């Protein structure tokens, strides 16, 4: 095995694994035509050609001190800039990592702050953007004028060029995960400057990191939310996470969510048809008339293709009449998340104003009626799942034992509701939504043909056409979950379309063509295999993707895939997948052969040998084995009685933790 590892290390050198070189601040143009003129401190200066709102964007301030560096460095291909502070700022060593986003048309910043003080310290970090010609306005990625902070699921700000920059693209800044705990304070001193302020608490000797991105894009005169979502999507944090180094990822402060249930707002919204529930019921008439009081109804009846049922008035959250819905239809929201559209009759529907005046209401003439009360922050106990149909209705299921026959790009998939977190509706005219499962699987699915029988709360077991289903969710969305998601604990494959399969590659060998020849690797020996084709100067064809492969125990191989397909198998599936769909493959836990295990055991015993040179040799080899030796070292530490053995094991494991 040592011979194999030595060969792999030599191969990585022969393949040109390059370190950092001095950075030359030459303007660079991305594939969307945006010019980025980076200065040596990481700030973006005005482009040399074309109209631009940019004057000095991305300036980094810690307290009242601005970041500078003596020797800016870059990767040999020039795609990533690494800048280290000339001296500690407010007691922190600062490193800026700036990556050109060639395809997306932007820049990704990683700002790392390492506390050199002997105490836990809180600092304020400012990212300052300055504009030439002035800005016409600042709005969030949800098309809301900014008011000093980001709210809800907002994650960024777009700066619209003013009259002095006619024809210039707008500047997009993404600064937080949609539900992030670190929502920055925003200060727009005037139309020429905008700053984002982050407050970081960093323990002594530890690091904290901020992620943010910049992009440029032409927009309509008054950008609407769907337009902004499309423009921000390539710069979104979930897309950026995939390329962040593993050692930095856990330290990124503005990736973590606020503990709020993911997706609950989609199924239990804070407002209905633009009106938030208040202390009193609200009767809406037209765009501006709002009456407050108390609504009452003796009987509310729903006639539906599934049957006829009475809806208890105390379970109603909101009601819209034909005046608002149109076409003689009505809509009712229930507190358990159900939404029914169709033929509804209301007996003795009345509204009593706060003043005491009572009004008789007719559904045919009703606009909107919003019932008072707090919006649910918990998933209803008697509901196993909610399913939204193409017609916009939401049906509650009473148990999760059913399965939905679905189809993926690579084959059929039986979607067990008990395994589901949520299934999103298709976006941008796509045929598939994204299903996210409890085991970490993410897969794009479309309903199969035919019908399925489901336990519907109001009507019992009923058959529904699969083609009528649009999205679904279970109580799992009510559980806090980091935006970055927990790292997989099983073998996985990340695939195009933001998909992840929990499963293993079953091929006997994975073949990579390197500059030194063909290298064949056992899938079980791979720690991580990542597609770096787009990082190459001359990308090969789809069938010849370039992968950087890290080996358990040490060593790296970079080469072009010699296989056009891979077989991946997991729970209830076994698919042959084109290699061009594979973005990343990983084995979080190493598979250790018996001979290696025996060698590790011998080395651990040698840590207590009387011969000093033998103890040193054992320590060196255990370090070289890296994660392969870690489980055995941890177990040996629990049982060790020799202080020398304990000391050496602790030193080795601490070094592993610092890598």
Q: Answer yes or no: is 14 within a domain.
A: no
Contacts of 357 (CB under 8 A, 6+ apart): none
Element holding 652 (H helix, E strand): helix 643-658
- Name the pLDDT band for 4 (thresholds 50, 70, 90): very low
Residue 76 sits in which domain range?
31-255
- Are residues 168 and 277 located together in one domain of the fold? no
Q: Are both 184 and 64 inside the same structural domain?
A: yes
Same domain for 308 and 336?
yes
pLDDT (0 to 100) of residue 482 = 44
How many residues make up the chain in this entry? 659
Are residues 149 and 239 part of one domain? Answer: yes
Closest CA to 23 of 68, 76, 59, 84: 76
Residue 625 has pLDDT above 80, yes or no: no
Clarify whether residues 294 and 231 are in a common domain.
no
How far apart (Å, rounded) are the C-alpha atoms in residues 134 and 110?
Answer: 27
Q: ∠ CA(471), CA(472), CA(478), 5° rounding?
A: 130
Is 7 inside any structural domain? no
Judgement on whether residues 51 and 174 belong to the same structural domain of the protein:
yes
User: C-alpha dihedral over 305, 311, 315, 317, to 10 degrees?
Assistant: 60
Q: What is the mean pLDDT of residues 463-479?
A: 91
Query: Per the domain annotation, does 25 fall within a domain?
Result: no
Please tell me whether residues 549 and 438 are part of one structural domain.
no
* Last-in-domain residue among 370, 399, 420: 370
Asked whether the predicted pLDDT for residue 561 surpasses 90, the reply is yes
User: 298 and 251, same structural domain?
Assistant: no
Report residue 12's pLDDT band, with 50, 70 and 90 as the boundaries: very low
Query: How many CA atoms lie within 13 Å of 271's alpha carbon, on the beta-carbon side?
Result: 6
- The answer to the question of residue 414 being in a domain is yes
Q: Which of 226, 255, 284 is the last residue of a domain?
A: 255
The answer to which of 57-66, 90-99, 147-156, 258-267 has the lowest mean pLDDT is 258-267
Residue 147 shares a structural domain with residue 163: yes
- Give the residues across from 138 on adjacent strands: 159
Sign of the CA dihedral 626, 631, 637, 642?
negative
**Checking DSSP bridges between strand 469-474 and strand 420-423, what pairing results, if any?**
antiparallel
State yes or no: pLDDT of 245 exceeds 60. Answer: yes
> What pLDDT score does 537 carry?
64
Whether 154 is in a domain gets the answer: yes
The domain total for the chain is 5
pLDDT digits (tens, 9 = 90+) for 290-302: 999 999 999 999 9
Query: Is 380 within the bounds of a domain?
Result: no
* Lowest-pLDDT choice from 277-286, 393-402, 441-450, 553-562: 553-562
Q: Residue 153 contacts by C-beta under 8 Å, 6 or more apart in sequence? A: 142, 178, 179, 265
Q: Are residues 598 and 504 in the same domain?
A: no
pLDDT of residue 389: 93
Indicate the range of 17-21, 172-176, 275-279, 308-312 predicted with least confidence.
Answer: 17-21
**C-alpha dist (Å) from residue 76 to 22, 23, 452:** 9, 9, 56
- Per-residue pLDDT band for 657 (boundaries 50, 70, 90) equals low
User: What number of other Cβ atoms are within 10 A of residue 84's Cβ?
Assistant: 16
pLDDT-derived band at 520, boundaries 50, 70, 90: very high
Find the CATH number of the domain harbouring 56. 2.70.98
Evaluate if residue 6 carries a pLDDT over 50.
Answer: no
| pLDDT at residue 421 is higher than 60 | yes
Classify residue 219: in a domain, yes or no: yes
Residue with tokens 């709360």: 457
pLDDT of res. 563: 92
- What's the rounded mean pLDDT across residues 399-423? 95
Q: pLDDT confidence of 258, banded at 50, 70, 90?
A: very low
| Paired tokens of 330 | 């009505």
pTM above 0.75, yes or no: no
- Say yes or no: 578 and 608 in one domain: no
Q: Which two tokens stand for residue 412?
A: 């059929």
Does residue 280 have a pLDDT over 90? yes
The reported pLDDT for the residue numbered 16 is: 32
End-to-end CA distance of the chain: 22
Name the token pair of 189: 């001193």
The b/e string for 440-477 (b: 16+ C-beta within 10 A; e otherwise) is bbbbbbbbbeeebebbbbbbeebebebeebbbbbbbbb
Of the chain, the percentage scoring pLDDT greater than 90 comes to: 49
Kindly state the average pLDDT of the residues 146-162.
85
Residue 429 pLDDT class (50, 70, 90 cuts):
low
Are 575 and 521 in a shared domain? yes
Burial (Cβ within 10 Å: 0-12, 13-18, ≥19) of residue 122: exposed
Indicate if the alpha-carbon torsion angle 602, 604, 605, 607 is positive or negative.
positive
Domain limit, last residue, from 345, 370, 395: 370
Residue 73 belongs to some domain of the structure:
yes
Mean pLDDT of the chain: 86
């Amino acid at each position: 095995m040592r011979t194999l590892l030595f060969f792999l290390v030599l191969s990585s050198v022969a393949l040109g694994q390059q370190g950092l070189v001095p950075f030359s601040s030459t303007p660079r143009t991305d594939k969307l035509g945006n010019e980025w003129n980076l200065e040596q401190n990481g700030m973006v200066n005005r482009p040399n050609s074309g109209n631009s709102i940019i004057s000095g964007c991305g300036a980094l301030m810690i307290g009242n001190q601005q970041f500078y560096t003596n020797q800016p460095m870059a990767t040999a291909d020039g795609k990533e800039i690494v800048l280290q502070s000339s001296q500690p700022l407010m007691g922190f060593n600062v490193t800026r990592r700036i990556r050109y986003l060639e395809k997306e048309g932007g820049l990704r910043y990683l700002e790392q702050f390492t506390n050199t003080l002997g105490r836990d310290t809180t600092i304020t970090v400012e990212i300052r953007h300055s504009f030439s010609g002035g800005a016409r306005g600042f709005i969030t990625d949800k098309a809301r004028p900014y008011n000093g902070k980001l709210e809800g699921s907002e994650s960024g700000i777009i700066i619209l060029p003013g009259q002095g920059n006619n024809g210039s693209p707008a500047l997009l800044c993404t600064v937080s995960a949609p539900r992030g705990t670190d929502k920055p304070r925003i200060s727009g001193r005037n139309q020429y400057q905008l700053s984002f302020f982050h407050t970081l608490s960093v323990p002594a000797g530890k690091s904290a990191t901020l992620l943010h991105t910049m992009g440029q894009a032409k927009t309509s005169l008054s950008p609407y939310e769907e337009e902004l979502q499309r423009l921000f999507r390539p710069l979104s944090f979930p897309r950026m996470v995939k390329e962040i180094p593993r050692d930095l990822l856990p330290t990124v402060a503005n990736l973590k969510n606020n503990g709020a249930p993911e997706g609950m707002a989609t199924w239990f919204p804070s407002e209905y048809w633009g009106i938030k529930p208040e202390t009193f019921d609200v009767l809406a008439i037209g765009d501006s008339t709002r009456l407050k009081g108390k609504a009452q109804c003796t009987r509310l009846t729903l006639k539906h293709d599934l049957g006829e049922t009475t809806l208890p008035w105390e379970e109603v959250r909101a009601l819209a009449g034909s005046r608002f819905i149109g076409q003689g239809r009505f809509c009712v929201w229930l507190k358990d998340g159900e939404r029914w559209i169709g033929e509804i009759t209301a007996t003795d529907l009345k509204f009593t104003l706060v003043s005491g005046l009572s009004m008789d209401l007719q559904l045919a003439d009703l606009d909107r009626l919003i019932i008072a009360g707090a919006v649910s922050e918990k998933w209803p106990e008697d509901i196993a799942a909610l399913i939204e149909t193409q017609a916009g209705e939401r049906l509650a299921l009473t148990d999760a034992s059913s399965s939905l026959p679905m189809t993926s790009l690579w084959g059929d998939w039986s979607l067990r509701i008990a395994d589901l977190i949520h299934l999103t509706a298709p976006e941008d005219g796509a045929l598939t939504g994204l299903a996210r499962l409890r085991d970490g699987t993410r897969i794009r699915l479309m309903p199969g043909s035919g019908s399925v029988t489901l336990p519907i709360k109001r009507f019992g077991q009923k058959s529904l056409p699969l083609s009528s289903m649009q999205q679904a969710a279970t109580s799992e969305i009510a559980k806090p979950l980091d935006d970055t998601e927990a790292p997989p604990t099983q073998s996985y494959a990340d695939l195009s379309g933001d998909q992840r399969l929990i499963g293993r590659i079953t091929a006997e060998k994975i073949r990579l063509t390197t500059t030194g020849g063909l290298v064949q690797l056992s899938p079980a020996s791979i720690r991580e295999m990542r597609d770096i084709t787009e990082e190459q100067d001359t990308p090969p064809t789809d069938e010849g993707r370039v992968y950087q492969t890290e080996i358990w125990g040490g060593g790296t191989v970079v080469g072009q895939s010699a296989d056009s397909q891979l077989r991946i198998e997991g729970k209830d599936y076994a698919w042959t997948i084109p290699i061009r769909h594979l973005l990343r493959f990983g084995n979080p836990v190493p598979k250790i052969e018996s001979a290696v295990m025996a060698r590790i055991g011998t080395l651990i015993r040698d840590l207590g040998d009387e011969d000093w040179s033998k103890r040193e040799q054992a320590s060196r080899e255990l370090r070289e084995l890296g994660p392969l030796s870690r489980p055995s070292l941890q177990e040996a530490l629990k049982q060790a009685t020799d202080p020398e053995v304990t000391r050496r094991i602790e030193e080795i494991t601490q070094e592993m933790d610092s890598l």
